[in-house]
């Protein structure tokens, strides 16, 4: 499990490595642009309810991963999360169901029973 350290808080948020990989890529991209946003998660560490943090360039963050190599990330799911992070509600992840959401983002949508799959990029992305 990976850990996200936020600000001066010594208690990390514990998340699966690949999920934190997505969050890291989105966070780095947005903060590099000077864009602040909220990150909300639920289902971590057997917590009930949900937690939200405000991410902005002046707040220190540290991402710690168990895996020595970057995880393979789905470009489609990364785009879906990035779009969500641009919304008024910010980035929302449920630790219990994110893998199903990742898989759904990889599955090409069909407009009708006879239509061919929509063109989507399933090219994996490496988390840095």
Domain assignments of the chain as residue spans, ordered by start: 18-96
CA gap 125, 36 in Å, rounded: 23
Q: What are 54-88's pLDDT values in tens digits?
A: 999 999 999 999 999 999 999 999 999 999 999 99
Between CA 49 and CA 99, with CA 30 as vertex, the angle to 5 degrees is: 45
Please list, in sequence order, all residues whose beta carbon lies within 8 angstroms of the beta carbon of residue 55, skipping any fewer than 6 positions away: 27, 30, 31, 36, 37, 38, 39, 61
CA gap 56, 27 in Å, rounded: 9
**pLDDT value at position 45?**
72
pTM, entire model: 0.82
| pLDDT at 116 exceeding the cut of 70 | no
**pLDDT value at position 62?**
98
């Amino acid at each position: 499990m990976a850990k996200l350290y936020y600000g001066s808080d010594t208690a990390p948020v514990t998340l699966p490595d690949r999920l934190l990989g997505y969050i890291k890529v989105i966070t780095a991209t947005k903060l590099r642009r000077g864009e602040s946003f909220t990150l909300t998660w639920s289902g971590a560490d057997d917590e009930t309810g949900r937690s939200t943090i405000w991410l902005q360039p002046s707040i220190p963050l540290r991402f710690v991963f168990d895996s020595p190599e970057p995880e393979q990330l789905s470009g489609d799911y990364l785009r879906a999360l990035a779009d969500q992070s641009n919304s008024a509600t910010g980035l929302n992840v449920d630790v219990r169901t994110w893998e199903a959401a990742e898989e759904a983002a990889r599955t090409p949508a069909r407009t009708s029973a006879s239509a061919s799959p929509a063109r989507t990029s399933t090219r994996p992305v490496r988390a840095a």
